[in-house]
């Protein structure tokens, strides 16, 4: 059985491409003024090394090292007579690395000069010659990329079709204004290219980083019904000493890959500056989301098959835990966040939990590796708190550190030990924390895991197997009212609710207006929202929250207010006052408050909730 065609793969899942060839060759010591394409003949092992890196990273296709292997560009090096030889060698090298499962894309780039009536025939001949060589050598499809002129791309497409029946992916570059280098709106250019019958996939590559390309991608979705590809640069290059470096981290690229996938991109990869490390993270992120979606669908299908006398109905949230009962009854709930210790000394957090229980706090919120830090197991912490302090725990459950099997095992274990409340989060990338060499798993995201817990609550595991008794977990999710892409945040919130979320806890809220706007936008999704509250302890702390904590916006007036106290005690008191004012202002719009204990100082959190006087902090 031979390889699947590109179109067949696209009908089944997202297809993930490779990254940069030139960047990688440059890193291996090849001079920028060298002919990179000629390396197919003079140094094939170097080219093979680059291809192998992308194959090992999990790419579905690799591009031949032939981007500039047309007669016009090769003539600058005196190599115009070797077009066939260089292109054929490029395909041969790529096919050797690709093996039986990875596709080989015959890469064709622009000619590098202005297209005129006088040069039209030369351009057509150059594209035909290269496309024919790539096709006859055994490329699986043709990838026409980095075209800034739609007219030249149209010439290339038609020329290639005259000499080849291979599927064609046609990609254009775009600037940060969503225009081509010639000032044409990208949606107009893509509409023209997409109308070409020979084109199987149309899309964007190069020039800009993930953020700008996401904007361009959103602008072209409505102008074509064909699958869309996106292969951004790893950000814009910056000159560091005498080198041009691309600054996007693999995790950053992977985060945007997830957004491209969510919005419908069918081919996702990278261009300049993208390395095998970037592609590896992109593969992990996108495949994780595909698995997650598949798991939810499989579970739903199993439920239908299993319907009958043995069907297990999920309990109401009011029956799952005391926390759930309070929410269902409409009580204004309170929880204080206590972070597990970095070592084994658990007694201090147990004493703090006991203090909270005595003061009437409803639950202890226990984060799971916040900011990708390694701490005592939050599950162990939750169990010990519930055993020692007579107060319920809300266990944060992070997708970052466990695979599917490990997550299910821990959820079953938590339920068996009486932990009845969970807050499901995707988790911060490892490179944000103290152990950047750690590997993030991300088999699922928070949406998918929410669906998994709902199924476990019905006695159905990830594989569709039935078990008894079922778990009994009140499931919460995170929410960010000040997310930079608020439309995406609202859409994800909707999907979390549909997956089975029963309550939500927000990121720390400092901007009341933005919170109210968010609450208005999610009003149709009827689950209780608990507001996150963070009391500042100093101006430095407020600055840190404003500038270094993802998902947090601190208004300037609050920063100004925190800059005014002269002593540490005055600063703490001001932070508590701000938090108390926040609570009063939003009290009627939320189901309760999740107050953090900054730096472990539980008295600050208790003061915010009015349980002790500010003077007792």
Q: pLDDT (tens digit, 9 = 90+) per residue, 49-90?
A: 999 999 999 999 999 999 999 999 999 999 999 999 999 999
Please report, for the chain, the start and end positions of each structural domain, with discontinuous segments joined by +. 6-274, 318-535+591-611
Neighbours of 484 (CB within 10 A): 11
Class of domain 6-274: alpha beta
Lowest average pLDDT, out of 361-375, 378-392, 482-496, 555-569, goes to 361-375
Going by C-beta distance under 8 Å and a sequence separation of 6 or more, which residues neighbour residue 503? 317, 324, 327, 474, 475, 476, 477, 527, 528, 529, 530, 591
Per-residue pLDDT at 363 = 97
Report the alpha-carbon distance of residue 586 to residue 513 in Å, rounded: 10
Per-residue pLDDT at 605 = 95
Please tell me if the domain spanning 6-274 has the same topology as the one spanning 318-535+591-611.
Answer: yes
In percent, the amount of the chain with pLDDT more than 70 equals 90
- Quote the pTM value: 0.56
Per-residue pLDDT at 221 = 92
Taking alpha carbons only, the member of 598, 601, 581, 609 closest to residue 535 is 598
Say if residue 297's pLDDT is above 60.
Answer: no
Per-residue pLDDT at 292 = 58
Q: Do residues 452 and 303 touch, judged by C-beta distance below 8 A? A: no
Say if residue 308's pLDDT is above 60.
Answer: no
For the stretch 79-93, pLDDT in tens is 999 999 999 999 999
Taking residues 528-557, what's their average pLDDT? Answer: 86
- Angle of helix 83-98 relative to helix 44-57, nearest 10 degrees, comes to 40
For the stretch 255-287, pLDDT in tens is 899 999 989 999 999 999 999 999 999 999 998
Considering the segment(s) 318-535+591-611 as one domain, its CATH architecture is Alpha-Beta Barrel (3.20)
Higher pLDDT, 237 or 87: 87
Say if residue 579's pLDDT is above 60.
Answer: yes
Higher pLDDT, 438 or 572: 572
Phi, psi angles (nearest 5°) of residue 60 = -85, -25
Taking residues 319-337, what's their average pLDDT? Answer: 95
Q: pLDDT-based confidence at 549, cuts 50/70/90? A: low
Q: pLDDT-based confidence at 435, cuts 50/70/90? A: very low
Say if residue 300's pLDDT is above 50.
Answer: no
Q: How many residues are listed for the chain in this entry?
A: 617
The sign of the CA dihedral 590, 596, 597, 598 is negative
- Angle of helix 404-416 relative to helix 446-456, nearest 10 degrees, comes to 50
Per-residue pLDDT at 193 = 97
* Neighbour order of strands in the sheet with 267-268: 15-16, 267-268, 228-231, 199-205, 168-172, 141-147, 103-108, 61-63
Neighbours of 211 (CB within 10 A): 16
Q: For tokens 């169990």, what's the residue?
A: 383
Per-residue pLDDT at 252 = 82
Mean pLDDT, rounded, of the chain: 89
Write out 497-526 in H/E/C secondary structure: HHHCCCEEEEEECCCHHHHHHHHHHCCCCC
């Amino acid at each position: 059985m031979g390889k699947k065609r590109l179109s067949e793969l696209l009908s089944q899942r997202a297809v993930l491409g490779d990254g940069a060839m030139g960047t990688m060759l440059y890193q291996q010591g090849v001079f920028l003024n060298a002919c990179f394409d000629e390396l197919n003949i003079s140094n094939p092992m170097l080219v093979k090394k680059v291809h192998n890196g992308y194959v090992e990273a999990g790419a579905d296709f690799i591009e031949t090292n032939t981007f500039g292997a047309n007669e016009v560009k090769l003539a600058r090096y005196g190599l115009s007579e070797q077009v066939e030889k260089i292109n054929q060698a490029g395909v041969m090298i790529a096919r050797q690395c690709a093996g039986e499962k990875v596709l080989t894309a015959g890469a064709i780039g622009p000619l590098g000069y202005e297209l005129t009536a006088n040069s039209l025939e030369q351009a057509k001949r150059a594209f035909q010659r290269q496309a024919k060589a790539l096709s006859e050598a055994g490329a699986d499809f043709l990838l026409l990329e980095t075209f800034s002129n739609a007219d030249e791309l149209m010439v290339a497409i038609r020329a290639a079709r005259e000499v080849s029946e291979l599927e064609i992916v046609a990609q254009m570059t775009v600037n940060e204004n969503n225009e081509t280098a010639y000032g044409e709106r990208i949606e107009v250019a893509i509409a023209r290219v997409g109308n070409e019958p020979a084109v199987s996939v149309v899309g964007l590559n190069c020039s800009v980083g993930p953020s700008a390309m996401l904007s361009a991608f959103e602008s072209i979705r409505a102008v074509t019904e064909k699958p869309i590809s996106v292969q951004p640069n790893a950000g814009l290059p910056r000159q560091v000493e005498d080198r041009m470096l691309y600054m996007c981290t693999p995790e950053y690229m992977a985060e945007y890959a997830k957004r491209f996938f969510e919005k419908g991109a069918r081919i996702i990869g990278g261009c300049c500056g993208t390395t095998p490390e970037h592609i590896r993270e992109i593969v992990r992120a996108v495949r994780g989301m595909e698995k997650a979606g598949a798991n939810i669908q499989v579970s739903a299908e199993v439920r239908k098959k299993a319907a009958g006398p043995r069907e297990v109905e999920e309990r109401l949230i009011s029956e799952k835990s005391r926390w759930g009962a309070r929410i269902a009854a409409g009580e204004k709930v309170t929880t204080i966040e206590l972070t597990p210790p970095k070592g084994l000394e658990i007694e201090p957090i147990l004493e703090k939990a006991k203090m909270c229980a005595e003061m009437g706090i409803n639950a202890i919120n226990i984060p799971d590796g916040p900011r990708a830090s390694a701490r005592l197991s939050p599950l162990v912490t939750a169990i010990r708190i519930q055993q020692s302090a007579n107060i319920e725990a809300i266990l944060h459950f992070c997708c970052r550190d466990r695979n599917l099997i490990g997550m299910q095992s821990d959820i079953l274990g938590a339920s068996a030990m009486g932990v009845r409340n969970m807050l499901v989060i995707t988790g911060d990338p490892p490179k944000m924390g103290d152990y950047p060499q750690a590997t993030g798993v991300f088999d699922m995201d928070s949406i998918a895991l929410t669906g998994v817990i709902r199924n476990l609550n019905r006695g159905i595991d990830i594989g569709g197997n039935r078990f008894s008794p079922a778990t009994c977990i009140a499931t919460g999710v995170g929410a960010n009212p000040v997310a930079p892409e608020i439309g995406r945040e609202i859409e994800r919130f909707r999907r979390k609710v549909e997956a089975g979320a029963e309550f939500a806890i927000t990121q720390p809220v400092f901007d009341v207006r933005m919170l109210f706007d968010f609450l208005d936008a999610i009003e149709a999704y009827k689950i209780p929202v608990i507001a996150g509250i963070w009391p500042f302890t100093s101006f430095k702390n407020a600055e840190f929250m404003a500038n270094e904590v993802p998902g947090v916006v601190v208004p300037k007036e609050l920063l100004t207010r925190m800059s005014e106290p002269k002593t540490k005690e005055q600063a703490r008191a001001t932070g508590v006052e701000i938090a108390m004012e926040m609570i009063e202002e939003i009290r009627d719009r939320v189901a309760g408050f999740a107050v953090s204990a900054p730096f472990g100082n539980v008295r600050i959190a208790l003061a915010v909730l009015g349980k002790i006087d500010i003077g007792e902090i």
